[in-house]
Structure 1
Amino acid sequence: MTGRFSGQVAIVTGASRGIGLGIAQRLVDEGAQVCITARKEAALAEAADVLGDGRAIYVAGSADDPAHQDEAIAATLERFGRLDLLVNNTGINPVYGRAIEVDLAAVEKIFRVNVVSALSWAQKAYAASLAEHGGAIVNVASIAGLKPAPNIGMYGASKSALIHLTEELAVELGPSVRVNAVAPAVVKTKFANALYEGREAEVAAEYPLKRLGEPEDIAAVVAFLLSQDAAWVTGQTIVVDGGLTLTGGSV
């Protein structure tokens, strides 16, 4: 790897597995030190071991808990002395079905975790370091936020809001802080398991590239957006979907 992130420090939320861990691994491989967060401490400890001694720390907690956010940022600054990069990867989708029938408490939870907490992480990271030293933020959205997504409509609505939030923050925080997003299609993770389990070949056949995504596919694009290779890119949502949206497909 090129060492694009040598001397830089990142926080990656929702990074005990899947896309988040893939992003953290890519950043470490390119020279960064990282703080990873998620709810389960044991899974985080295992992930940190994978990332390498001295390269990663972890802080367990709920992504939408302000006290957890404060703890993670404080731990990052104490251990590494700086914070340059933030990846808002945490996302939930606890309901499946028609939006007209969805439980409103679940909707509130989806938006609190997928949108409000992303804003809160950005606010706190900005106040703690990015406002003074600059940096970059990437939000992990979804192609479900780009068009109607039957049966996961509230998840899609939250990701649409996250995409708009990305644009708002890009306008507000430039020129010192760039803010972008990625919008994946189905990636082979535990989170997306229900969308392809037992029928992967059938689902993949709808994609022009004839395969589902891997965490590394998303990590590569996130790393680009965080790096100085994307120094003139802000407020953009990069679709990473194997071509699915070209054919009219949706999650």
Structure 2
Amino acid sequence: MATPHNEAATGEIAKTVLMPGDPLRAKFLAMTYLEDAKQFNNVRNMFGYTGSYKGKEVSIMGSGMGMPSIGIYSHELYSQYGVENIIRIGTCGSFKKHVHLRDIIIVQGCCTDSNFAYQFELPGVYSAISDYGLLEKAVALAKEKNVNYHVGNILSSDIFYHADKNSPEKWASMGCLGVEMESYALFATAAYLNKRALTLLTVSDSLVSKEETTPEEREKSFTAMMEIALEIA
């Protein structure tokens, strides 16, 4: 039952998939947290693994960077492999002074500068939101673990190096907590296919204070977000 981007056979992927952008983070997560992890995908080095966490079957797979990439992988997982839940576990830049490095953002909804929703031929602007059931569980676990977290809106952008240097301030003025590049496409795809999705983001850099984390930290140290996602899987 392989797709153009996934060589997994039927039954090799769990009903819930955790999706970091970086396939190396997917590998780190699988090797660190899953028992009996088995690799199901190596196409384009977009690693995917299935194993068990506290007795539950869970899959972890990279999504790549940007909405086109996560749009491909999430669509195939939902439509071809019977996946019901995708939880994106990623990083973001903070737009707000009170949203600090290593804080967690539990994404309620997304704004975007992408035309991803154009394909649905809707007579207006689509608001992409997460699944409330998954969001509610994530908030409860964040409280239980006593981590610094925020719930709210973010920007999913197609542009990393933006020509408009005032873009962050404009989105921040509308309440956006931070910026990443994938969640709008994930939420829209889930809604279109009648599935469930959530995004958890760890703040890797601040567009306010100009602080940032290292690539190694982003790959291996954002464990609080990872553990929340595994608990609600």
TM-score under structure 1 length normalisation: 0.38
Higher strand fraction: Structure 1 or Structure 2? 2
**Bigger relative contact order (CA 8 A; separation at least 6):** 2
Length-normalised TM-score, structure 2: 0.40
More helix by share: 1
